Each structure stands twice: as structure tokens, then as C-alpha cells.
Amino acid sequence: MAPILAPTISLSNGQKMPVLGLGTWRSYESEAEKACKEALDCGYRHIDTAFVYENEAEVGRAVKSKIAEGLIRREDVFVVTKLGGIHHEPKLVLHACQLSLNNLDLGYIDLYLLHFPVGQVYNGDGNVHGSGELSDVDYLDTWKEMEKLVEMGLVRGIGLSNFNSQQIDRVLKNCRIKPLVNQVECHPGFNQKKLIEFCRERDIVVTAYCPLARPKPDLKWPPFIYDATSEAMARKYNKTPAQICLRYLIDIGVVPIPKSISKNRIEENFKVFDFKLSDEDIKIMDQYNTNERMIPFSGMRNHQYFPFNIEF
């Protein structure tokens, strides 16, 4: 029997992106390949990776194996990867894209994101995280080269990640091809509602990484997974607290990409399309927002393009 698939959302260029995907940050080697295969088997058609995750090849192998089995065609799966910080120099952008294309070996990239507005000094492809030395490359110059990748047919669409509202507007005022997506940290504890509305007004979709805020069962944290209110809501809908969180994000217009390497969790995270939260329950979930980031990127705080020094 064919798996149930996620609904899709239309991006501004007409591409259809499934409203839930599999995140792969810190999914390594065989782990990543196995997780992607299991996700595709249960209905995921949106896989998110990045050059710095060092698992693009594994993601590509998983997709190709399911194409070979006849489960999917290449055009059925929406593959996202990202330009790493070490490749912000304009002369390196095409090179970086070709590295990712070679790693994935899927012919093209559905969505290619500029991973962070702050770049790092390039000292070779081997050190994907850079030396720690930050570069002064203007992300607009990087974006102009990313636009060329679309025109060359190497990527279908381009977008941003970890950009604030002022930086998004600066890109929009200086671009030929507008960003389709801004991928940011987003979960009930940091729900990004102002940024979501800002992006919605500009026809940019927000993708949510860390949508469950990396739960810590031993500490019963975060509260929107473990407290009495979340547990009561889960019972009301006959779902788990994690499923309530993912449905909440979908209901407020965000595309969550939960990461897991557990088959049971991968399947659980996908079973969120047979219910919706009531308006009242969305308001209850809103109350978990503290406006506190889990991932502050504090080592870049003094850079001129650091994105988190303003409200959103």
C-alpha cells in the first residue's frame, strides 16, 4: 500500500514543498542513510541536509535507493541543502554547489539555502566548519552568485537561513531572484511569530529547524513536551506531545523539519496530518513562547552581519 504523503505548500516560484520534512543535522554516515530510507518508506518527501552536515552523500544514496526500488521518482522528493560559511566568496559559490551536487548525485538541488549571513575564511574544502576566522564577504555578493545557479539549472530555487527581517529586506531590494524560504530555529518556546508574519507578507515560507527544541527526558525539558498542560492536550487529540508541537507549527504556517534517526520517532513525527489544533489550543501553545533561542551562534555576535542582535 502506498504511504500517506504530506500536503504541500506552494513557494513563490511555483515549486511545491511538503509541509513537513526530515532534518539530518548530526545524522552521521550510515545513520543518515538509514534514517532517510525509513523516512521515505513512511511517506516523507522532503529531506533537509547541508554541506556542513557532512552527510549529503548518504542522503543522496538513500534517495537513489528508493528510486531504484520504484518507490519514488526523482521529481517526487524535495531535497534541500545549503551553501556553507566557508564558501561565501563569490568565486567559490559555483564550486560549492558542484560539491553538493556531486555528493548528492541526484542531478539537481530542489532548494539551495544560504546557511548563515556570516561567512568564514576559506582555507580548503576539507575543514567544512572553517578555522573560526570570520570573513567580511557581503551576503549580497554571495546571493548574486546563487541566482546564477538557478539560471544554470543546477538548483530549482534558492533561499535563506538564519536571516533577520532587515537582512531579508536588504536581499529583496537587491536581488533578481527572490528567496523562497527562510529556515530558522522555531518551536513553541521560540515561535518566531513576528518573523513568520514578516516573511508571509513577502511571500517567503519559514522552515523550522529544532522544532521540538531537542528534548531532554531526564530533565523533563522543554515544558511543551513534558508538562501537565502538554500532556492533557496530547490526550485530548489522542496524540503525543511531540505530535502536538509539530501540528502547532504547521497550523501557524511553518514547515517543521524534525531530526531523528529512530524509526519509531520518524514515523511518529509524520503522523500529524489527520488532525488540526483548535484556535483555543493554538493560543495555549502560544503561551509557551519565551523568545529565547536554543542556538545563539554567540561566537559570531560581534560580526557586522550577525542576525540575532535585533528582535526578529
Per-residue pLDDT of the chain (312 residues; tens, 9 = 90+): 778 999 999 999 999 999 999 999 988 878 999 999 999 999 999 999 999 999 999 999 999 999 999 999 999 999 999 999 999 999 999 999 999 999 999 999 999 999 999 999 999 998 898 878 999 999 999 999 999 999 999 999 999 999 999 999 999 999 999 999 999 999 999 999 999 999 999 999 999 999 999 999 999 999 999 999 999 999 999 999 999 999 999 999 999 999 999 999 999 999 999 999 999 999 999 999 999 999 999 999 999 999 999 999
Has domain 8-291 been given CATH number 3.40.50.720?
Answer: no
* Nearest to 53, CA basis, from 74, 92, 81, 86: 81
**Cα dihedral across residues 267, 272, 275, 277: positive or negative:** positive
Name the catalytic one among 53, 112, 139, 209.
53
- What local confidence, expressed as pLDDT, does residue 46 receive? 98
- What local confidence, expressed as pLDDT, does residue 215 receive? 94
- What local confidence, expressed as pLDDT, does residue 134 receive? 96
Beta-carbon contacts of 92 under 8 Å, excluding residues fewer than 6 positions away, are 86, 122
- What local confidence, expressed as pLDDT, does residue 44 receive? 98
Query: Catalytic annotation on 28?
Result: no
- What local confidence, expressed as pLDDT, does residue 97 receive? 98
- What local confidence, expressed as pLDDT, does residue 260 receive? 96
- What local confidence, expressed as pLDDT, does residue 26 receive? 87
pTM of the full predicted structure? 0.97
- What local confidence, expressed as pLDDT, does residue 131 receive? 79
